[in-house]
Structure 1
Amino acid sequence: MKMEIIERYERTPEDEVILDISAEKIEDLYDDFDKKSHFLKKDLNQDLVDYITESVDEIEDEKFIIQFNLEIETIEENISRVRNSVNKFFIYMKELESRKMKDMVRTSLILLFIGLILATISVLMNQSESADTDIVFGVIAEGLTVAAWVSLWESLATFLIKWMPNRKKIRLYQRISAAKITFTFNKKI
């Protein structure tokens, strides 16, 4: 299956996969809502971001370049700015994912701590003599046991399962931010 996907892409003489992106002009690569902003401060067009991230995810570990095919030629300074803004945009996305992952780990540690405290209180309550004679006391002790297990499970699920997609996105954004970016100009006839 992977070979069928990779065969859809052109390759450079150095055997790098080419992510081919066509647009009329450089401005088409950016969102319209911030037209007056400098290239480095603008957000990339979301369709462009989606295309690049999905393509890099699709080609997995293959080496690649991002090639922009523009109809309107521009000066080298603008090309350099686009390269820089693409790089900075994906570094920013990587930092956002890293922050989400840190928040997830912090929440997981808090849940683990709460779960351990509730489990300790529950064990102490269940070993108490009142647990056998007082129904309300016993119900509270069992409720604490359930709450402890829920808290511990959520904490462990985050450590064992939920962090993987964030880690994958971080690696993906890192690869894109380090990608070689080339430009070609094809005037419309």
Structure 2
Amino acid sequence: MAGLIALFLVCSIACVNVGKAQRESTSDDIAADIEMAIVAEQIALNAITSLIEKNKEEIASLRQEIALNPPHSKEIHSETDVVKCVKSNDFDEADAEGNRLRRVKVSFKKDYAAAPNVLASIQRLDIPKEADHKFEIRVENVTTKDFTLICIARGNETVIDQAVVSYLSVPKK
């Protein structure tokens, strides 16, 4: 913008100098020179006006972006909780390999924009001392609203008195 203002001033000075140098010229020559100087000043003024309009548009765009993306909108939605997966060896189904399963539908407290990543881990496992200990957990069918936690006792001899699982859900990158 400073460059355009300088151009405007140079054009103005040139007009004055043209006027002094050509006092002896004919009135037609002087009129033509003044007309050229006016055109040059109009071009400089149009360039400055155009630059101002572009800056106004950019400011309006930035204001809109700030309004749509307030600082708190950058917070990451994550959830964590614990789920009682098995209580008193109460499995609901069995698979072809003799494993016993219990499916627990877990709903998020707040819906995600897209299906998140869910990580589950055993928080507490109560098992009889003499029992075989083959226990597994899986996360399946993750949606924006919920997921299914599957607790698996591998084989008929595995006895689980109680299993508590914790999970962490975070958005995918």
TM score, norm. by length of structure 1: 0.32
Compare CA radii of gyration and give the structure with the larger one.
2
The structure richer in strand per residue is 2
Q: TM (normalized to structure 2)?
A: 0.34
Higher relative contact order (CA 8 A, sep 6+): 1
